[in-house]
């Protein structure tokens, strides 16, 4: 999870859950994903609320604000599985505190009757929390702390939300791993710059004639005096006379 991101297609992912521990039977209730290609946010997103068929802990509701009543008419995880796998398949997932989300996703996979396998059958994972701890040792590396460190405005984040947090994490990730690239990706931009430097520039035929300004006799005398003074002081003068 600490290996460098090498995939051209990244999916920044976050989840919200009914509680903190899937081993106690807690479930995913929201998934938010944001796509990046060549370090550019494409606008392609995956977002879904999920009926977990169980009660949400009150402490979790206070964090994300999602209620049991709100989820009553939402699809089950099995209903969104194909669309979810279709969105993340082949991408590198960027997740903050990846073991938490990966654990919950694999728990949901394991509950299905079909043999779905585990998340690593479909995607690799880059953990931004582990990366931040390595880059900023001894400092707070929560998503809020990273927003403050990298001057990202998250004032609209009153409650946690999977899609909102994924969008914020995408900005954090780009800055923390080297900043957003230009409209061209780095390789293409460098190649274009090299091509431009090698191409001779054609001057316009109607360009103004260059003005040549010659030294006056007095300026030539003063220049020679300066050369003589340098030669006398240093023993030699390399300037052309």
User: Catalytic residues, which ones?
Assistant: 160
Q: What distance in Å separates the CA atoms of residue 181 and residue 173, rounded to the nearest whole number? A: 12
Distance CA(107)–CA(122), nearest Å, equals 15
Tokens encoding 20: 């903190």
Cα 237 from Cα 219, distance rounded (Å): 19
Q: Which conformational region is residue 46 in: left (phi greater than 0), alpha (psi within -120 to 50 degrees), or beta?
A: beta
CB 18 within 8 A of CB 52: yes
Task: Give the span between the Cα atoms of 66 and 160, in whole angstroms.
Answer: 10
Distance CA 56, CA 41 (A): 32
Q: What is the dihedral of CA 135, 140, 141, 147, to 10 degrees?
A: -110
CA atoms of 2 and 200, how far apart (whole Å): 45
Cα 24 from chain centroid (whole Å)? 33
Q: Give the Cα separation of 203 and 209 in Å (integer).
A: 12
């Amino acid at each position: 999870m600490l290996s460098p991101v090498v995939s051209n297609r990244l999916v920044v992912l976050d989840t919200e859950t009914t509680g903190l521990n899937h081993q106690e039977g807690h479930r995913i209730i929201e998934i938010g994903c944001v796509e990046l290609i060549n370090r550019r946010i494409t606008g392609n997103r995956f977002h879904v609320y999920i009926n977990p068929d169980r009660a949400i802990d009150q402490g979790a509701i206070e964090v994300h604000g999602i209620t049991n009543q709100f989820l009553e008419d939402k699809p089950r995880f099995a209903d969104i599985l194909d669309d979810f796998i279709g969105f993340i398949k082949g991408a590198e997932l960027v997740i903050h505190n990846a073991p938490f989300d990966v654990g919950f996703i694999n728990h949901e996979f394991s509950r299905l009757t079909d043999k779905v396998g585990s998340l690593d059958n479909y995607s690799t994972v880059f953990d931004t929390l582990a990366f931040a701890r390595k880059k900023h040792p001894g400092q707070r590396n929560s998503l809020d702390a990273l927003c403050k460190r990298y001057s990202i405005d998250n004032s609209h984040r009153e409650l946690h939300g999977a899609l909102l947090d994924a969008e914020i994490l995408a900005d954090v990730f780009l800055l923390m791993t080297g900043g957003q690239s230009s409209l061209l990706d780095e390789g293409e931009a460098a190649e274009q710059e090299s091509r431009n430097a090698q191409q001779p520039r054609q001057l316009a035929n109607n360009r103004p004639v260059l003005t040549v300004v010659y030294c006056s006799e007095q300026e030539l005398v003063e220049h020679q005096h300066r050369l003589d003074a340098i030669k006398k002081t240093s023993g030699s003068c390399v300037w052309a006379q």
